[in-house]
């Protein structure tokens, strides 16, 4: 159906509100809601702030001033995602809207979960409310790409991240100098860090290989950014990291992926062998640990494994203009990556370093 300019305007406002949950809503979807009166004035708005917290529709309803509640039966609700029709951690939003019975509800996208898709929408229609679905649908599906991928594939949305020198190295030291505990070899300048930390905060997990942990001893957090740090996933199928390693002591919540598990292993130990393939690991990280997205930060071998197995959705890569003239080769960017859709920036520069953000060539919904 074709939507009026006013519909698109209010849905865009709801989409912008939804985006505010980007660091805290996952593994729940990003949802925004705008309630408009008969004169096309916004009388209520809300978004889904935190996992398990009130849904956007409830937030919007509760934001309405007391003298506006009489207008609710004439209102139009703009909701970026189909209202839920099941009682989970909170009551069903479709029940709330059915009770209020507004004149019209405009929905961005249906819930991707096949078990709920269409049911919230149907409930509202049966209550006699006009329901129009599909306003800004493609852009909203992109905004909720992680949730969409999760519900269809039962695995996390995977983002690969690395930094390379202009001559193609991610660590400028010769191998004999990459000794345990020798620390990281920064490729990018300090100015690049805030964006790197934002990239971390956007994902629920951060994966790093045992070799990188041994040499670089990375922090893997979001530093001063006001957002939760992702949960560390230490990829150690050869079991070379001891349980008393500083990273595991510092972060008892870290998931330690090991080849074999003894009967008295920590519940955060996840059994996985390299020959089982990354799909198997990703399935476990989603199903058993609730990781709806994963940022893979290295090292080179780990990143190359993800690239070779096609087990990724996005790539974020820094490039420094300075050569290192040797060292550890950085992964090669696949030749068939595509730009981000809907005007989202796929490249930029901060200080002297430049970054790109590319997407896997398969469609988000494939």
Our CB check for Zn ion shows the closer of 84 and 258 to be 84
DSSP H or E segment with residue 147: helix 145-153
Q: Which stretch binds Zn ion (CB under 5 A): 13-21, 91-99, 267-275, 349-357?
A: 91-99
| CA gap 137, 276 in Å, rounded | 37
Instruction: Of 130, 148, 152, 150, give the one whose Cα is nearest residue 140.
Output: 148
What φ, ψ does residue 236 adopt, rounded to 5°? -140, 55
Write down the catalytic residue from 16, 57, 203, 238. Answer: 57
Our CB check for Zn ion shows the closer of 84 and 215 to be 84
| CA gap 242, 258 in Å, rounded | 11
Q: Which stretch binds Zn ion (CB under 5 A): 49-57, 127-135, 188-196, 286-294?
A: 49-57
User: Could you say which of 55, 119, 123, 358 contacts Zn ion (CB under 5 A)?
Assistant: 55
Tell me: does residue 207 bind Zn ion (CB under 5 A): no
Tell me: does residue 18 bind Zn ion (CB under 5 A): no
Instruction: Of 112, 113, 114, 158, give the one whose Cα is nearest residue 283.
Output: 158
Burial class of 84 by CB neighbour count within 10 A (0 to 12, 13 to 18, 19+): buried
Binding mask 123-142 for Zn ion (x = CB under 5 A): --------------------
Query: Which two three-digit tokens encode residue 91?
Result: 């009551």
User: Could you say which of 14, 84, 220, 294 contacts Zn ion (CB under 5 A)?
Assistant: 84
Catalytic residue check, 57:
yes
Query: Which two three-digit tokens encode residue 11?
Result: 């849905």
Our CB check for Zn ion shows the closer of 84 and 160 to be 84
Tell me: does residue 93 bind Zn ion (CB under 5 A): yes
Our CB check for Zn ion shows the closer of 95 and 333 to be 95
Which spans of this chain sit near Zn ion (rule: CB under 5 A)? Answer: 55, 84, 93
Give the active site residues: 57
């Amino acid at each position: 159906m074709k939507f009026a300019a006013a519909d698109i305007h209010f849905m865009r406002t709801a989409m912008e509100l939804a985006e505010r949950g980007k660091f805290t809503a996952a593994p729940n979807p990003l949802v925004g809601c705008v309630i408009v009166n008969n004169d096309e004035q916004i009388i209520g708005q809300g978004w889904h702030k935190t996992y398990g917290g009130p849904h956007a529709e409830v937030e919007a309803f509760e934001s309405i001033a007391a003298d506006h509640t009489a207008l609710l039966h004439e209102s139009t609700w703009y909701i970026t995602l189909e209202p839920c029709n099941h009682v989970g951690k909170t009551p069903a939003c479709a029940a709330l809207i059915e009770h209020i019975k507004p004149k019209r509800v405009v929905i961005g996208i249906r819930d991707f979960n096949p078990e709920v898709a269409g049911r919230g929408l149907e409930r509202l229609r049966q209550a006699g409310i006009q329901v129009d679905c599909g306003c800004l649908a493609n852009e909203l599906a992109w905004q909720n790409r992680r949730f969409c991928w999760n519900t269809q594939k039962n695995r996390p949305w995977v983002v690969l991240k690395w930094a390379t020198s202009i001559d193609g190295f991610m660590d400028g030291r010769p191998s004999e100098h990459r000794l345990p505990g020798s620390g990281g070899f920064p490729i990018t300048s300090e100015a690049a860090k805030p964006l790197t930390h934002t990239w971390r905060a956007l994902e629920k997990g951060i994966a790093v290989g045992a070799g990188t942990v041994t040499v670089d001893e990375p922090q893997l957090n979001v530093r001063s950014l006001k957002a939760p740090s992702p949960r560390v996933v230490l990829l150690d199928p050869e079991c070379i990291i001891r349980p008393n390693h500083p990273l595991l002591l510092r972060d008892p919540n870290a998931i330690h992926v090991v080849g074999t598990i003894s009967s008295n292993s920590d519940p955060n130990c996840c059994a996985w062998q390299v020959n089982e393939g990354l799909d198997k690991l990703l399935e476990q990280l989603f199903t058993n640990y609730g990781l709806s997205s994963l940022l893979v930060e290295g090292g080179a071998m780990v990143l190359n494994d993800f690239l070779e197995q096609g087990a990724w959705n996005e790539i974020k890569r820094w490039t420094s203009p300075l050569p290192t003239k040797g060292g550890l080769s950085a992964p090669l960017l696949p030749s068939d990556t595509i730009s981000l859709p809907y005007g989202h920036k796929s490249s930029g520069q901060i200080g002297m370093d430049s970054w790109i953000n590319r997407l896997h060539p398969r469609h988000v919904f494939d």
